[in-house]
Chains A and B, each alone.
Chain A
Amino acid sequence: DQQVKQNSPSLSVQEGRISILNCDYTNSMFDYFLWYKKYPAEGPTFLISISSIKDKNEDGRFTVFLNKSAKHLSLHIVPSQPGDSAVYFCAARRSSYKLIFGSGTRLLVRP
């Protein structure tokens, strides 16, 4: 039972444009959501998070949107840069329970 789903395995965008990565979840009890970025041969690194009491959180070029009624969150990167090319994982958790990850989306930002 995949509770966190990233249905797009890959995404390619032009440098300077917006990248939108999507994530869906099934467990309405999740109360915290995170995005991680992973480069090859490295561990994932934390990017941005959002609590279920909010619908938007912004940090520089990165914004996460949460739509609780649709059980959907998205990560927007504006403007996209070639260095943003990586695999992006969304993750969700309930209280102090385990963090569950999606399968990841590989982003390629073309110069």
Chain B
Amino acid sequence: GAGVSQSPSNKVTEKGKDVELRCDPISGHTALYWYRQSLGQGLEFLIYFQGNSAPDKSGLPSDRFSAERTGGSVSTLTIQRTQQEDSAVYLCASSLAGTSGNTGELFFGEGSRLTVL
């Protein structure tokens, strides 16, 4: 499809298990973001990939969280030893940010809802 695709759409896991969330950005978009939205909260920045630059990991809440972006396209967000407070909707977005003349509008996927029991 033409939009940002995320999988799985829903994930229920047990406390202590590892999870992987995947994001397929819009083809050609150089920037990729991960945000999360906990129940009743705003959009919390997690990590930002821009082209070949080192990612901005300043939003990752703990060292249990990591993300990578392979080949400048698909990204995987990994949460190790999940905790109940990790339950949230994890949103991926991509944009052409950084390219000349572009406004950097983000296009979001529909999110992956993670529930940690």
Contacts and interface: CB of A to CB of B under 8 A. Distances in A.
A11 interface: no
Interface residues of B, number: 25
B41 interface: yes
Interface string A81-111: 0000000010101001111111110000000
Contacts of B56: 97-98
B106 A99 contact: yes
Contact of B43 (A32, A44, A49, A96): A44
A43 B42 contact: no
Nearest to B99: A96
Contact of A49 (B48, B103, B107): B103
Contacts of A73: none
A43 B108 contact: yes
Given A32-B103, A43-B4, A96-B104, A89 B111 contact: no
